[in-house]
Structure 1
Amino acid sequence: MRLVIIVGSVRQGRFGPVAAEWLASRARLCDDFDIDVVDLDTVWLPDVMLADPAASRPQAVQDLAPWLAAADAFVVVTPEYKQSFPASLKNAIDWYDEEWRAKPVAFLSYGGASSGLCAAAQLRQVFAEAHAVTIRETVSFHAHHDQEHLDRHGRPDLAGCPFNTGNEAARAMLDRLGWWARALRRAREAEPYERATNLYLGA
């Protein structure tokens, strides 16, 4: 199965790439997943949505679409800013539709007094509207600030991060994510997923 880990923050000196690299290293220990890491800072999605939903999507949106469409599962790495998630992440979710449907989404959150769990809670509502299935198990890190775990060259310092406390949480989350990814892939293969609106309103 293909797991896509999405780095949601685009701020300078982000902790997100460090967290994503660590989670990818945990996921590679599993036999379930092939892993891609998508950093929203490098995909250059437009921040102005199209007025006409039938219009052709911008090239950057088209370039990322196959990576998301091929995924069987997602982990969203999100900070918490003012008790919510970053605008860059909402923008990325809104550009896509079918790519999210009937697929499981888990969260790695960090920052703030809630360890980013306020951001994760709001994302659960957003992904429900995208017809995705969110995973209860979450990895969260308390009070990890963006600049804390960069080396003197500004690169992620994985060795300097106290991630050992998150190993068990990551294992539980990845196990549950794998279960849902297998179950939902079988379901999509047996019957294509369609919006409920067309099924029950006489269409």
Structure 2
Amino acid sequence: MKLRLAVIIGSTRSGRFGPTVANWFAQQAAKRADLDVDVVDLATTDLPPTLTDTDEPAPAAVSILAPRLAAADAFAVVTPEYNCSFPAPLKTALDWYYEEWHAKPVAIVAYGRENGGLYAVAQLRQVFTELHAVTIRNTVTMPCYWEQFAADGSWPRPGSGYDAAAKLVLDQLVWWAHALRDARKKYPYQP
């Protein structure tokens, strides 16, 4: 049975590069026979920036996205690094949901300046731990990602190393997704 991978575009900024990175990563994942890919673009989900209280009903936009996240066996979060962190809309999206993340693996694909988004990766690991998700060890980090355009305008250029990094991350993500899905079926997760 195929695993369902939700690739989340964490940036909503005007002129963002996130869709380019996310579409490339989703294409890498779609090459695999063991994955169904669902790209979730936070810029189109219309999640409200203000969270409701726990006893208030969820807004419609939150309820619409919830089944897509709940159906995922694994996540790949594509994030830029802004000011040594990840974007606020991504944090809001993470905070709107809770059980949807439980006992599921998360790969992080980060891009940024010279460190390739490593500060954002470190902070996301902390947040996902609190959400009872499992971040996998390896990441895809893209320092100075704008330098990876090929002469014909395509991205990333051959030799960037990104394809090999994505394969390793996807191999690990699939392993964890199978292990955690089997565990959730046998022993329902209790936070």
Number of the residue aligned with 1:116: 117
Q: Deviation string for 1:36-58 (max 9, x for gaps)?
A: 000000001000011x2021100
For the pair shown, the structure with the greater C-alpha radius of gyration is 1
Number of the residue aligned with 2:70: 69
AA aligned opposite 1:44: D
Number of the residue aligned with 1:159: 154
Q: TM-score, normalised by structure 2?
A: 0.93
Q: Hey, what's the Cα distance between the residues in 2 that align with 1:69 and 1:109?
A: 23
Q: Counterparts in 2 of 1:116-135, with a 5 A limit? A: 116-135=117-136
Q: Give 2:41's match in structure 1, choosing from 39, 42, 59.
A: 39
Return the offset for 1:158: 7.4
Whether 1:187 aligns to 2:189 is no
AA aligned opposite 2:169: M
Q: Counterparts in 2 of 1:1-203, with a 5 A limit? A: 1-50=3-52, 52-144=53-145, 159-162=154-157, 164-195=160-191
SS in 2 for 1:24: helix
Q: Hey, what's the Cα distance between the residues in 1 that align with 2:185 and 2:81?
A: 36
Return the offset for 1:162: 2.5
Return the offset for 1:30: 1.1
Q: How many residue pairs align between the two structures?
A: 185
Gap change, CA 1:160 and 1:187, over 3 Å in 2: closer
Contact 2:156 2:162 in 1 (8 A): no
Q: Hey, what's the Cα distance between the residues in 2 that align with 1:160 and 1:108?
A: 15
Q: Hey, what's the Cα distance between the residues in 1 that align with 2:153 and 2:57?
A: 40
Q: Hey, what's the Cα distance between the residues in 1 that align with 2:157 and 2:39?
A: 21
Q: Deviation string for 1:130-172 (max 9, x for gaps)?
A: 0000011101111235xx97xxxxxxx9724336420111000
Gap change, CA 1:190 and 1:160, over 3 Å in 2: closer
Q: Hey, what's the Cα distance between the residues in 1 that align with 2:104 and 2:56?
A: 25
AA aligned opposite 1:79: P
Contact 1:105 1:133 in 2 (8 A): yes
Number of the residue aligned with 1:200: none
SS in 2 for 1:128: helix
Give percent identity, aligned residues only: 54
Q: Deviation string for 1:5-50 (max 9, x for gaps)?
A: 0000000111100001101111111121100000000001000011
Q: TM-score, normalised by structure 1?
A: 0.87
Q: Where in structure 2 are there 5+ consecutive unaligned residues?
A: none
